[in-house]
Amino acid sequence: MDTPNQGSPAYTHATYAHIIGWGMAVPDKVMTNDDLSAFVDTNDEWIVSRTGIRERRIASEKESTATLALKAAQRALEVADILPIELDMIIVATSTAEYVFPSTASIVQNWLGASRAGAFDMSAACSGFVYGVNMAAQAIRSRSIQTALVIGSETMSRILDWQDRSTCILFGDGAGAVVMRASTVPGGVLSSVLRSDGAGWDVLCVPSVGSRDLDGSEIQPNGHTPFRMFMDGPEVFKFATRVFNDSVSQAVSDAGLTLDDIKLIVPHQANLRIISSAARSLKMDESRFMVNLDRYGNTSAASIPIALTEAVQQGRIAENDYIVFVGFGGGLAWGSMVVKWGAPKPKEEERALLKSQRRQLSYSLATLRSRWRRWIKSINEFFARLSPARGRMARLRDRVDKL
Ligand code: COA
């Protein structure tokens, strides 16, 4: 195995995990509170006053957790100006994965043509993005990888009970992504606090195929239904307001900072009242919290990277600013982290254009490669259905197998 010599950069410099690219994707279809009140007993005034949400995005039939993740990822790669082949790790934080397996991350890896990357999904509900960024940062700082793509992507509309007014009004669909890269410049992810209290597993849950919580019938005595979200709203509210401040304060102090040093808190976008309550108890002005839940609702693991992307686009984060991500939700699980922002280096026009074309080529080649493999598979299946006694056909099949 190659090991760097003593005195080489790998030994003399610490490695930091910086965010160098960001992007988001939301479906075009907007569902307003008035749209909701057409089929469930609710109204705009109640929803806005109790949650702050005015509208949310809903995926079309052609959109899915993976397609939204792909779009957000492509935009993040564009900002980072790197090629898919440079990615070492892809993490998709989601509660609405395309399949139980394979991971949504593997699907995205294939579509991007990120042929050198490992890929896996992260299950930590609405805290998933913070957990994912932490995992990627650890891998970068330990130098086992250089570059990671962390995505939060959700199609919450597919697991909602649209008759249940206490849950269906809260959630929306979307995806956000960041590219993270190793650097010797101090900064990036400075501290992380990840916690869980599994005793609260049943206040917010979606039973799946392996659940001991289900007895095979559609409606369960405990109100839990397969692949439908169950939530005890007031309990979740109490939990969120309890853990928000403690975990933010811990992460900030672990980074050697005080709350005064923090430019912007980018919280999970669950409910404006949760954010306002946190602002009051942290004694921070609400203007120092990024809020966009009025337009997207709660997009679970996608909410922080979507809010981050909009915060950057609105010029609310500058180089060397300290920002905080804080997520909380099903598990119960929660997490906070402090990031020292470092803007990516300016693009060299010509090089950037060339890389952009190479990225497009990578996506097209990935699609072709996927189609080619499926085509070969169907030819093999066709020959397998023919009698093995037909020697000529069998020889032909061998030749196709060798292609
Ligand atoms: N429209 C109109 N009325 C509604 C309603 C709706 N969409 N949803 C609930 N109500 C009614 C209830 O039926 C209840 O009526 P009642 O008093 O006649 O029984 C009343 O409003 C109060 O219900 P309650 O559940 O106590 O309301 P709340 O103030 O706690 O607000 C939530 C409900 C869900 C908005 C709130 O608990 C919440 O936001 N919790 C956190 C949820 C969350 O963030 N989850 C994701 C975390 S990741």
Q: From the CA of 361, how far away is ligand 1's center (Å)?
A: 49
Ligand 1 in reach of 303 Cβ (< 6 A): no
Whether 53 is in the pocket of ligand 1, judged by its Cβ within 6 Å, is no
Q: State the distance from the centre of ligand 1 to the C-alpha of 238, rounded, in angstroms.
A: 12
pLDDT digits (tens, 9 = 90+) for 138-149: 999 999 999 999
pLDDT of residue 182: 96
State the distance from the centre of ligand 1 to the C-alpha of 175, rounded, in angstroms.
Answer: 26
d(CA 321, CA 168): 36
Give percent above pLDDT 70 in the chain.
Answer: 88
The residue that leads in pLDDT, 353 or 336, is 336
For the Cβ of 203 lying below 6 angstroms from any atom of ligand 1, the answer is no
> Residue 397's pLDDT band (boundaries 50, 70, 90)?
low
Instruction: Flag whether pLDDT at 355 surpasses 90.
Output: no
Atom of ligand 1 nearest to the CA of 268: 48
Does 127 contact ligand 1 (Cβ within 6 A)?
A: no
Question: 265: closest CA among 130, 365, 159?
Answer: 130
Q: Which residues does the annotation mark as catalytic?
A: 126, 268, 298
The closest residue, in CA terms, to atom 7 on ligand 1 is: 165
Q: CA geometry: angle at 378 spanning 374 and 379, to 5°?
A: 115
Nearest CA to ligand 1 atom 1: 42
Digit-coded pLDDT (tens) for 276-306: 999 999 999 999 999 999 999 999 999 999 9
**Residue range 325-342: mean pLDDT, rounded:** 97
Q: What is the mean pLDDT of the chain?
A: 91
Q: What angle do CA 97, 339, 355 make, to 5 degrees?
A: 65
User: If you take atom 15 of ligand 1, which residue's CA is the nearest one?
Assistant: 166
Distance CA 76, CA 90 (A): 13
Please give the average per-residue pLDDT across 303-323, as a whole number: 97
Q: Which CATH architecture has domain 9-340?
A: 3-Layer(aba) Sandwich (3.40)
Rounded to whole angstroms, the Cα distance separating 106 from 129 reads 17
- Cβ atoms of 193 and 250 within 8 Å: the answer is yes
DSSP string covering 205-261: E---TT-TT--SSSS-TTS--TTS-EE-HHHHHHHHHHHHHHHHHHHHHHTT--GGG
Q: How far apart are CA 273 and CA 275, in angstroms?
A: 5
Q: How confident is the model at residue 117 (pLDDT cuts 50, 70, 90)?
A: very high
- For the cut 80, the answer to whether the pLDDT of residue 402 exceeds it is no
Q: What is the pLDDT of residues 1-43, one digit of tens each?
A: 333 444 444 445 789 999 999 999 999 999 999 999 999 999 9
At residue 345, the pLDDT reads 63
Strand pairing class (204-205; 16-25): unpaired
What confidence tens digit (pLDDT) does each residue in 360-392 have?
A: 998 999 999 988 988 898 888 888 877 655 666
Residues 6+ apart with CB under 8 A from 18: 180, 181, 182, 183, 185, 187, 188, 342
Ligand 1 contact, 165 CB (< 6 A): yes
Region 341-357: mean pLDDT is 70
* Token pair recorded at residue 185: 């410049």
Q: How far is the CA of 35 from the centre of ligand 1 (A)?
A: 18
Please calculate the CA angle 137-142-148 and round it to the nearest 5 degrees. Answer: 40
What are the CB-based long-range contacts (under 8 Å, 24+) for 156-160?
156/95, 156/96, 156/229, 156/298, 156/299, 156/300, 157/58, 157/59, 158/59, 158/96, 159/95, 159/96, 159/206, 159/227, 159/228, 159/229, 160/228, 160/229
Residue 350 pLDDT:
55
The mean pLDDT value for 103-132 works out to 97
Q: Pairing mode, if any, of strands 89-93 and 118-122?
A: parallel
Sheet holding 188-196, edge to edge: 188-196, 333-340, 322-329, 262-267
What pLDDT sits at residue 208?
A: 85
Q: Tokens 């809903």 map to which residue?
A: 58
pLDDT at 192 over 50: yes
Answer whether 332 contacts ligand 1 (Cβ < 6 A).
no
pLDDT at 215 > cutoff 70: no
Ligand 1 pocket check for 237: Cβ under 6 Å: yes
DSSP H helical ranges for 18-103:
33-37, 44-51, 65-80
pTM of the predicted protein model: 0.90
| Arithmetic mean of pLDDT, 241-253 | 97
Q: Closest residue (by CA) to atom 13 of ligand 1?
A: 166
